[in-house]
Structure 1
């Protein structure tokens, strides 16, 4: 890890007076979820739970310590994304991938920051020291370095560190669907007109794994139930990934370059672990609960698992217009 930029995971610095991104001293804050998004979908007063389910925050109360420099950079990015958002899928598609990475990454990192603060305070009350494993320090430290590309001369060269898919999506205009996994660094957002899925640190291998279905999707506007199934596939594939992403990080002439390295496989250890229809069915059931679809509906005796993306026998893509579920 380069020594020239702030890395809060070196000394586990999560303090209200240090900018979450640059480390500069500050008394200012920025919302984890962009305020225009909270206003547009009116979910600021709704609550989000921490991972252990014992603590919850109002979305509008989630704020990060942030220096004026970083606030200015995010405000400029927010203006650009909000403008693209108004144009739906075509507008978002016109954005650079790194801009989507920076914008979505702020949300996921912001929630991760709150998990760190909450755990630190919980252990302090018990008289214990706050610590995380070296593996998580490296994982989160790399993610933080990549986010600093917004304000610092950090660039991505060659293979990108992420899998990112953006596609047309049919939703009612007032619906905002959001999911994340802060430990494994995943993000999904579905709104009227488009859906986004980001795996922030997989070096692109999950999108490669799912390239067949992604190719079949082209030219279609997905039904929300298909969007949830696609994210479930990405989420479960991330769980099955058996190799740690590796990077080539170089600092030259006051510029830091990050390149995702190809995975070096070892004998008898494939890139992904064995797929379990049973576990995947449970994950899909969690995401499909709004439709009343349960695990028993997905896995039935002597029948292939239920899918709204592919026909079980021909593997043809299912036309979203043929799906009669509400959206």
Structure 2
């Protein structure tokens, strides 16, 4: 029989090397799974690339592992990674053909794996982070809701009329694309992006697809087009800034179970009565976000804001039509 009981590590802050991150089973320190799958590390030669954690300690992609029991590793993690690897080999079409829930689980595992590492390290940090995740009740509540839906990786689960995230799949033009792999995440806003060769997956992990709807017009504009890397950077800035403005936390509720049930059904609500869904859009804050993502092209905030009320865009012209960019021309900035 399927195990339909959800695990809640947040109730007792049960984050340690002694408990499986996904089901809570007591394990040995040797039982672990990579946050970034071995196939991903090998394909993009990531093993020794460094990652900076919140406590200022440095790890590598190969050393970033999380506690995981043998059952979860073999029955859930390995099949998920095999499915994503197979889809990624087919490029954009392969990833588009995947069930969105599987992409959500894959991205969610990497995001949550990084989060669990931070929570474990906060018990004995190299340098205490300025804003400790474990001391922020609002963030912990948000992560707790996220973990409910992430358990769809282990527990047979149906999302009732929603998907917990917003997913965007972009294709990069090869002309000036020199970066085979790139990874970025924002722990607090739960925005994430990963580049797999010519495909970029951008995701906001806990918004019930609201950000995708909000950016629907722009996404429809770029779908089916090969984007210059500078255009991808701008699209990511727009998604990451939308995640920064997103002001509500979805709540998820299990429907009462019957003895014969073989899956958990989750319903969701969002409190959009006492809270605005998005905080007000601020041009200067967006420009700062865009500047961060345009660093490879050395574009400064002053250049982004040179036209009053109209931030620099590589995606659309002043009429809102899509811009075609084959090569980056600095003189046009």
Q: Which residue matches 2:216? A: 211
Residues 160 and 204 of structure 1 are in contact (CA less than 8 Å); yes or no, is this contact kept in structure 2? Answer: yes
Q: Which residue matches 1:74? A: 77
Structure 1 residue 301: Cα displacement: 5.2
Is 1:258 equivalent to 2:266 in the alignment? yes
Choose the corresponding residue for 1:305, options 304, 311, 325: 311
Is 1:186 equivalent to 2:194 in the alignment? no
Structure 1 residue 39: Cα displacement: 1.0
Q: In structure 2, what is the Cα distance between the partners aligned to 1:216 and 1:322?
A: 19
TM-score (norm 2): 0.87
Q: In structure 2, what is the Cα distance between the partners aligned to 1:124 and 1:196?
A: 32
Q: In structure 2, what is the Cα distance between the partners aligned to 1:182 and 1:91?
A: 28
For the residue of structure 1 that corresponds to 2:192, the secondary structure is: strand
Choose the corresponding residue for 1:229, options 226, 234, 241: 234
Superposed CA offset, 1:268-320 (max 9, x none): x6432221111111111111111111212211154731111111x20111124
Superposed CA offset, 1:42-85 (max 9, x none): 12211111135x22211111111111111112111111111111
Q: In structure 2, what is the Cα distance between the partners aligned to 1:179 and 1:188?
A: 5
Is 1:20 equivalent to 2:21 in the alignment? yes
Residues 230 and 294 of structure 2 are in contact (CA less than 8 Å); yes or no, is this contact kept in structure 1? Answer: yes
Residues 120 and 130 of structure 1 are in contact (CA less than 8 Å); yes or no, is this contact kept in structure 2? Answer: no
Structure 1 residue 33: Cα displacement: 0.4
Is 1:295 equivalent to 2:301 in the alignment? yes
For the residue of structure 2 that corresponds to 1:112, the secondary structure is: helix
Residues 170 and 232 of structure 2 are in contact (CA less than 8 Å); yes or no, is this contact kept in structure 1? Answer: no
- CA 1:5 to 1:79, structure 2 compared with 1: closer, same or farther past 3 Å? same
Residues 25 and 69 of structure 2 are in contact (CA less than 8 Å); yes or no, is this contact kept in structure 1? Answer: yes
Structure with more of its chain in helix, by fraction: 1
- CA 1:294 to 1:124, structure 2 compared with 1: closer, same or farther past 3 Å? closer
Structure 1 residue 95: Cα displacement: 0.8
Q: In structure 1, what is the Cα distance between the partners aligned to 2:236 and 2:168?
A: 10
- After superposition, the CA RMSD in angstroms is 2.4
- CA 1:323 to 1:219, structure 2 compared with 1: closer, same or farther past 3 Å? farther
Q: Which residue matches 2:11? A: 10
TM-score (norm 1): 0.89
Superposed CA offset, 1:198-252 (max 9, x none): 1111121111110110111122112221111111111111111232323343242
Superposed CA offset, 1:59-116 (max 9, x none): 1111111111111121111111111111100111111101101111111001101111
Within 5 Å, give how 1:1-327 maps onto structure 2: 4-27=5-28, 28-52=31-55, 54-72=56-74, 73-122=76-125, 131-171=134-174, 172=177, 175-253=180-258, 254=261, 255-261=263-269, 264-266=272-274, 270-300=276-306, 302=308, 304-311=310-317, 313-321=318-326, 323-324=328-329
For the residue of structure 1 that corresponds to 2:278, the secondary structure is: coil
Q: In structure 1, what is the Cα distance between the partners aligned to 2:189 and 2:277?
A: 17
